[in-house]
């Protein structure tokens, strides 16, 4: 549908289009992924400019645009709302934010809005300024990504028999891509890994944990790292390759 629209969006990627313009990919409210041509965004700003500076990845903007035929829409005006400056002064935090933007670009398609995930992404970026709990925050964000994309397995039921997973510490549990967890009574093929209840209980609690509690949540480091292995393997399996930004991440 053609027309003029106003939205707020997180810039996921910028590409120089000419000496004066940019093409930007945005994750926007009510629209999802948008590709926009911002003519003149790279020109020196004047009072009359529609864009007061080139767009920066990982920043939150008020954006006006016009829908055109095809996938590339025309940005007509923009104003920076939040630049998340703390991310640009902390390399590990910036690499975590880069992974989040990479996943939003590759897992979601134009015209598929996920406003709750967008809200959680902004909250994630803000909390990365806390300087603590970065690995726990990353795992919590992967839960949100998996849930929004329909890839999150059940943390409560066996993927084989669909019965509740046993709570006894002595019971055997296994995890296998892409299905999820299996109880000891179900036969599974090769490629599975055995897991303990501490990891399962962490993943269960983490999937619905309030964001504000994550940075100070006391979880053993080895459990957090095992959780990262499970969650990141689910994402990589769906993409059929690890995200490009993953190789730069300081796990």
Per-residue pLDDT of the chain (251 residues; tens, 9 = 90+): 567 899 999 999 999 998 889 999 999 999 999 999 999 898 877 654 688 889 999 999 999 999 887 789 999 999 999 999 999 999 999 999 999 999 999 999 888 999 999 999 999 999 999 888 999 999 999 999 999 998 899 999 999 999 999 877 778 889 998 889 998 888 777 778 888 889 999 999 999 999 999 999 999 999 999 999 999 999 998 888 888 888 778 77
132 and 222 assigned to the same domain: yes
Per the CB < 8 A criterion, the answer to whether 12 and 121 are in contact is no
Instruction: Pick the closest to residue 105 from 42, 8, 25 (CA basis).
Output: 25
Domain endpoint, select from 83, 99, 120: 83
For the CA atoms of the chain, what is the radius of gyration?
A: 21
183 and 233 assigned to the same domain: yes
94 and 78 assigned to the same domain: no
Domain endpoint, select from 83, 109, 135: 83
Determine the structural domain holding residue 19 and report its residue range: 3-83
90 and 58 assigned to the same domain: no
pLDDT at residue 47, as a whole number: 54
79 and 92 assigned to the same domain: no
Q: Concatenated DSSP letters for 105-130?
A: HHH--BT---HHHHHHHHHHHHHGGG
Q: What is the pTM of this model?
A: 0.92
Q: How many domains does the chain have?
A: 2
119 and 168 assigned to the same domain: yes
143 and 74 assigned to the same domain: no
225 and 131 assigned to the same domain: yes
pLDDT at residue 116, as a whole number: 97
pLDDT at residue 246, as a whole number: 82
154 and 77 assigned to the same domain: no
77 and 33 assigned to the same domain: yes
135 and 37 assigned to the same domain: no
């Amino acid at each position: 549908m053609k027309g003029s629209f106003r939205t707020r969006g997180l810039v996921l990627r910028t590409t120089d289009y000419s000496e004066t313009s940019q093409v930007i990919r945005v994750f926007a409210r009510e629209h999802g992924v948008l590709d926009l041509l911002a003519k003149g965004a790279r020109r020196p700003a004047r009072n009359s400019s529609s864009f007061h500076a080139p767009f920066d990845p990982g920043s939150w903007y008020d954006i006006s645009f016009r829908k055109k035929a095809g996938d590339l829409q025309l940005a007509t005006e923009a104003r920076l709302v939040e630049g998340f400056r703390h991310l640009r002064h902390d390399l590990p935090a910036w690499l975590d934010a880069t992974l989040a933007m990479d996943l939003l670009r590759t897992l979601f398609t134009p015209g598929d809005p996920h406003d709750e995930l967008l809200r959680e992404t902004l909250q994630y970026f803000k909390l990365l300024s806390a300087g603590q709990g970065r690995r726990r925050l990353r795992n919590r964000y992967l839960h949100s990504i998996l849930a929004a994309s329909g890839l999150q397995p059940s943390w409560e039921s066996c993927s084989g028999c669909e019965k509740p997973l046993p709570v006894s510490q002595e019971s055997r549990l296994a995890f296998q891509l892409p299905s999820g967890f299996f109880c000891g009574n179900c036969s599974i093929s090769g490629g599975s890994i055995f897991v303990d209840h501490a990891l399962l209980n962490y993943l269960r609690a983490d999937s619905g944990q309030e964001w504000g509690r994550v940075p100070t949540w006391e979880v053993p480091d080895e459990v957090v790292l095992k959780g990262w292995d499970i969650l990141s393997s689910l994402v990589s399996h769906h993409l059929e390759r690890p995200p490009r930004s993953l190789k730069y991440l300081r796990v």
